[in-house]
Structure 1
Amino acid sequence: MGKAKRTKRAAQSRFAQMKRMISLSDDRIKPKDRAAPKKKKPEDPYSLKVREVPQVSSALFFQYNTQLGPPYHVIIDTNFINFSIKYKLDIIQSMMDCLYAKSIPYITDCVMGELEKLGRKYKVALKIAKDLRYERLPCMHKGTYADDCIVQRVTQHKCYIVATCDKDLKRRIRKIPGVPIMYIAQHRYTIERMPDAYGAPKT
């Protein structure tokens, strides 16, 4: 008898705990017992509204990037070198033919790291990348993933053109205003999103 009483009391206390846990505005409570919904405070039309807008580079003048101009600074991606070898294109000469001006190719440390990781099959690409005419950009980040490095670099400094054939990297670069993309089409170099102000070739 005592056991039955104890279990009944325990069940009652458990039910009380559950009742305490359920919010008064819960749908399971009957409408007459349910608490009224809280009214939202009306917005003050005269209050200051804080909006976070990303800072636009001072190099951009509407759609034109004023930092772009001869000699052009071109950051080269790993696959751009490989495709240039495949189509038998001299990188510096083809860049000058595309932009009608002197071009300085830049290779980052992570691009060099990627080429070294690819092994002996890509030793020609590595030999081209080690050419003294190509400027080296030191990388301070960990790892050798070039895409993130290039995106971060062109976001900070708007003076570069990105040379790549990678679709994912192109998609990411297109979201950054004022950064042209160089790629290979019909066995020659082509430029995308280059301002007309500098007399760039139209594709």
Structure 2
Amino acid sequence: MGKAKKTRKFAQVKRMISAKDARVKKKDKEKKQEVAKKDKEGQIRHAPQTSSALFFQYNTQLGPPFHILIDTNFINFSIQNKLDVMQSMMDCLYAKCIPYITDCVMAELEKLGPKFRVALRIAKDPRFQRLPCMHKGTYADDCLVNRVTEHKCYIVATCDRDLKRRIRKIPGVPIMYITQHRYSIERMPDAYGAPRI
């Protein structure tokens, strides 16, 4: 009699429960239900108070003189398009405009270095009002969004897509931007620079 050949058995793995097994799903459901119960018990929901000045998405309390919060890139794009900030704002809104610059925006301009010294000189114009910042950090976008959510009296002047997207989520805040070598404004139907629908 010949010797019996021993063949190796490949891919021997312990049997595992599949992800679709009913026993696994039961445990997951129970865990999720427990977490949901805890959240419901310990959570008080607050709906933010909406302003009485809002008529649909338009803020009816905005009127001359307009208070305009300026972002860093708005000044840079104004210089590139050879636009005088004060004059172009007044041409866009047909009214007196008071531009405001926060400490965060000034810090951002100073950080940009000598390449943007013209923008910094424009920002230091005495006609521009300075707003002091009490928060930590110098990220201007967060600062502007916080200020606008607290006080709905501002128009935000920016060319930054991300900041525009964030501000569009806040009702009643118009956005001024540069298009076709002039200032335009959105969410403000009375303005001259507003795009016609």
TM range (shorter): 0.7 to 0.9
1:189 aligns with 2:178: no
1:113 aligns with 2:87: no
Give 2:168's aligned residue.
Answer: 174
The whole-number CA distance in structure 2 between the counterparts of 1:202 and 1:77 is 19
Q: Check whether the contact 1:114–1:144 (CA below 8 A) recurs between aligned residues.
A: yes
Quote the offset at 1:55 in angstroms.
Answer: 1.6
Counterpart of 2:149 in structure 1: which amino acid? Answer: T
The whole-number CA distance in structure 2 between the counterparts of 1:144 and 1:201 is 31
Give 1:148's aligned residue.
Answer: 142
The whole-number CA distance in structure 2 between the counterparts of 1:82 and 1:67 is 30
The whole-number CA distance in structure 1 between the counterparts of 2:99 and 2:110 is 19
The whole-number CA distance in structure 2 between the counterparts of 1:68 and 1:159 is 6
Quote the offset at 1:58 in angstroms.
Answer: 3.1
The whole-number CA distance in structure 2 between the counterparts of 1:135 and 1:151 is 18
Trace 1:2-81 onto structure 2 (pairs within 5 A). Answer: 27=23, 52-81=46-75
Quote the offset at 1:60 in angstroms.
Answer: 1.9
Q: Check whether the contact 2:68–2:156 (CA below 8 A) recurs between aligned residues.
A: yes
TM-score normalised by structure 1 residue count: 0.72
Deviation per CA, 1:141-182, whole angstroms, max 9, x where unpaired? 111100000000000100000000000000000000000000
Quote the offset at 1:64 in angstroms.
Answer: 3.0
Q: Check whether the contact 1:59–1:158 (CA below 8 A) recurs between aligned residues.
A: no
The whole-number CA distance in structure 1 between the counterparts of 2:94 and 2:117 is 30
TM-score normalised by structure 2 residue count: 0.74
Quote the offset at 1:67 in angstroms.
Answer: 2.4
The runs of 5 or more residues in structure 1 that have no matched partner are 1-25, 29-36, 41-49
Counterpart of 1:90 in structure 2: which amino acid? Answer: D
Q: SS at 1:182's partner residue?
A: strand
Q: 1:202 to 1:128 in 2, by over 3 A?
A: closer
Q: RMSD across aligned C-alpha pairs, in angstroms?
A: 2.0
Counterpart of 1:112 in structure 2: which amino acid? Answer: M
Quote the offset at 1:187 in angstroms.
Answer: 0.4
Give 2:194's aligned residue.
Answer: 202
Give 2:157's aligned residue.
Answer: 163
Give 1:85's aligned residue.
Answer: 79
User: Given the alignment, which residue of 133, 136, 140 partners 2:130?
Assistant: 136
The whole-number CA distance in structure 2 between the counterparts of 1:178 and 1:69 is 13
Quote the offset at 1:51 in angstroms.
Answer: 5.5
Percent sequence identity is 76
Give 2:7's aligned residue.
Answer: none
The whole-number CA distance in structure 2 between the counterparts of 1:165 and 1:134 is 19
The whole-number CA distance in structure 1 between the counterparts of 2:84 and 2:193 is 19
